[in-house]
């Protein structure tokens, strides 16, 4: 049985095409769970009337993506658990391709799908997660043409939470998403914890969905800047083994210096505030780190093998500007 979990917050305008696309690819025994994070746009009432098949969980307040996903995962009955963004619209064959990947490789814990930009479906928004030695985690192949995707399945570090199929046994082993992350990088933290426990993730290149990127959080918004800065440090502190952290620390600190300098010069205080917030939580984070690292079964070498060398700062900035240009084109 497959459970589809969709978390929404004031996203009624996206839900009908999202649900129509995914429901057409499900078996009669599969289920769809929509977790409404305290929306005020009439989402819950509309769903109850228009989508009788959907199991609606209406929350009184917004728990963020991480908290909403956890509510849905706990309510789900399936052995396979599909996370799908409310602003993502699966293309033909997407769900079967993800499910087939999990059945063909019973040793893996997750299968990653490919998200493309809704307004530029020939361009990849995410094909799983990639990570660097400076602790930066990014969408794999973001901005590349879909023709550059591999022809066959291949291992990736983790799956983007916008289109990810998880095995229940993996989540029972590593735990659910960290609710304190609220939004952003909670899927990275989960992917790193899965790697620490030896769970692999495969990319299914034919499992694709068009995604309205940053439709909820807003690309470049102060909220997103704060949460990204905070959650980046949280994930590193929680998940990097001591030996890997020691080896990567110069790269991590170099990135932080550049990020803080950029924030000061461009007057983006939210980027700084998020990092300060993470440091304030250091006692809690260190306790969580000890619990996570105590259950690690892979070597430092195996974990570090997923961390790519960081490119020159100018290349990182150029990539960010390229992504922003793609998203700005959506508004015109």
pLDDT in tens, 237-271: 999 999 999 999 999 999 999 999 999 999 999 99
pLDDT for the residue 327: 87
User: Based on the domain organization, do 31 and 143 belong to the same domain?
Assistant: yes
Out of 166, 184, 211, a domain closes at 211
pLDDT tier, 313 (very low <50, low <70, confident <90, very high otherwise): confident
User: Based on the domain organization, do 152 and 231 belong to the same domain?
Assistant: no
Out of 163, 182, 211, a domain closes at 211
pLDDT tier, 36 (very low <50, low <70, confident <90, very high otherwise): very high
Q: Is residue 118 part of a domain?
A: yes
pLDDT tier, 214 (very low <50, low <70, confident <90, very high otherwise): low
Q: Is residue 173 part of a domain?
A: yes
CB 28 within 8 A of CB 6: no
User: Based on the domain organization, do 143 and 276 belong to the same domain?
Assistant: no
Ordered alpha helix ranges (H), the chain: 12-23, 43-50, 64-75, 94-104, 168-174, 186-196, 222-239, 242-265, 269-280, 282-294, 300-304, 313-330
User: Based on the domain organization, do 207 and 298 belong to the same domain?
Assistant: no
The CATH number of the domain where 181 resides is what? 3.90.550.10
* Tokens standing for residue 222: 């102060």
Out of 185, 211, 237, a domain closes at 211
Q: What is the 3-state secondary structure (H, E, C) of 67-94?
A: HHHHHHHHHCCCCEEEEECCCEEECCCH
Query: Which range of residues forms the domain containing residue 139?
Result: 2-211
Helices 222-239 + 186-196 axis angle, to 10: 10
User: Based on the domain organization, do 179 and 274 belong to the same domain?
Assistant: no
User: Based on the domain organization, do 21 and 132 belong to the same domain?
Assistant: yes
What is the C-alpha to C-alpha distance for residues 80 and 274, in angstroms, rounded to an integer? 34
User: Based on the domain organization, do 180 and 300 belong to the same domain?
Assistant: no
Assess whether pLDDT exceeds 70 at residue 99: yes
166, β-bridge pairs: 81, 110
* Tokens standing for residue 206: 């034919």
- Number of domains comprising the chain: 2
User: Based on the domain organization, do 184 and 266 belong to the same domain?
Assistant: no
Listed in sequence order, the residues at least 6 apart from 186 whose beta carbon sits closer than 8 Å to its beta carbon are: 65, 66, 69, 161, 177, 178, 231
User: Based on the domain organization, do 8 and 112 belong to the same domain?
Assistant: yes
CB 70 within 8 A of CB 186: no
Q: Is residue 79 part of a domain?
A: yes
pLDDT for the residue 317: 85
Residue 264 to residues 257, 290, 324, Cα–Cα distance (Å): 11, 33, 20
Q: Is residue 216 part of a domain?
A: no
Assess whether pLDDT exceeds 90 at residue 215: no
User: Based on the domain organization, do 248 and 197 belong to the same domain?
Assistant: no
User: Based on the domain organization, do 272 and 294 belong to the same domain?
Assistant: yes
Helix or strand (DSSP H, E) at 127: none
Produce one character per residue of 264-302: b if its CB has 16 or more CB atoms within 10 Å, e if not. eeeebebbbbbbebbeebeeebeebbeebeeebeeebee
User: Based on the domain organization, do 61 and 159 belong to the same domain?
Assistant: yes
Q: Is residue 27 part of a domain?
A: yes
Enter the pTM of the model. 0.95
Listed in sequence order, the residues at least 6 apart from 203 whose beta carbon sits closer than 8 Å to its beta carbon are: 111, 112, 114, 127, 128, 140, 150, 153, 154, 155, 156
59, β-bridge pairs: 37
Helices 64-75 + 186-196 axis angle, to 10: 60
Q: Could you tell me which of 126, 130, 116 has the C-alpha nearest to residue 330?
A: 116
Q: Could you tell me which of 278, 298, 297 has the C-alpha nearest to residue 288?
A: 278
Q: Is residue 283 part of a domain?
A: yes
Listed in sequence order, the residues at least 6 apart from 163 whose beta carbon sits closer than 8 Å to its beta carbon are: 83, 84, 85, 88, 90, 94, 112, 113, 114, 115, 126, 207, 209, 211
Q: Is residue 217 part of a domain?
A: no
Q: Is residue 228 part of a domain?
A: yes
pLDDT for the residue 218: 55
- When the pLDDT of each residue in the chain is averaged and rounded to a whole number, the result is 95
SS3 (DSSP) at 284: helix
């Amino acid at each position: 049985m497959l459970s589809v979990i969709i978390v929404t917050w004031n996203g009624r305008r996206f839900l009908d095409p999202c649900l129509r696309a995914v429901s057409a690819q499900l078996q009669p025994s599969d289920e769809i769970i929509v977790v409404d994070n305290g929306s005020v746009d009439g989402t819950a009432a509309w769903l109850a009337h228009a989508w009788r098949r959907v199991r609606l969980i209406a929350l009184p307040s917004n728990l963020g993506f991480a908290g909403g996903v956890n509510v849905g995962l706990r309510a789900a009955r399936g052995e396979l658990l599909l996370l799908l963004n409310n602003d993502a619209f699966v293309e033909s064959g997407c769900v079967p391709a993800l499910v087939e990947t999990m059945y063909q490789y019973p040793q893996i814990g997750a299968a990653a799908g490919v998200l493309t930009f809704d307004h530029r479906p020939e361009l990849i928004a995410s094909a799983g997660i990639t990570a660097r030695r400076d602790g930066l985690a990014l969408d794999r192949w973001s901005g590349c043409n879909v023709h550059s995707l591999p022809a066959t399945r291949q291992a990736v570090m983790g799956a983007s939470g916008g289109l990810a199929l998880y095995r229940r046994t993996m989540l029972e082993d590593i735990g659910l998403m960290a609710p304190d992350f609220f939004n952003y990088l909670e899927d990275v933290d989960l992917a790193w914890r899965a790697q620490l426990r030896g769970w692999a993730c495969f990319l299914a290149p034919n499992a694709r969905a068009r995604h309205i990127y940053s439709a909820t959080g807003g690309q470049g918004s102060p909220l997103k800047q704060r949460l990204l800065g905070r959650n980046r440090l949280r994930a590193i502190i929680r998940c990097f083994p001591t030996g890997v952290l020691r080896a990567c620390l110069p790269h991590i600190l170099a990135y932080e210096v550049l990020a803080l300098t950029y924030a000061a010069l461009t007057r983006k205080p939210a980027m700084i505030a998020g990092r300060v917030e993470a440091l304030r939580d250091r006692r809690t984070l260190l306790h969580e780190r000890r619990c996570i690292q105590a259950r690690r079964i892979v070597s430092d070498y195996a974990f570090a093998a997923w961390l790519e060398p960081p490119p020159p700062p100018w290349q990182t900035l150029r990539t960010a500007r390229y992504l922003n240009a793609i998203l700005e084109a959506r508004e015109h």
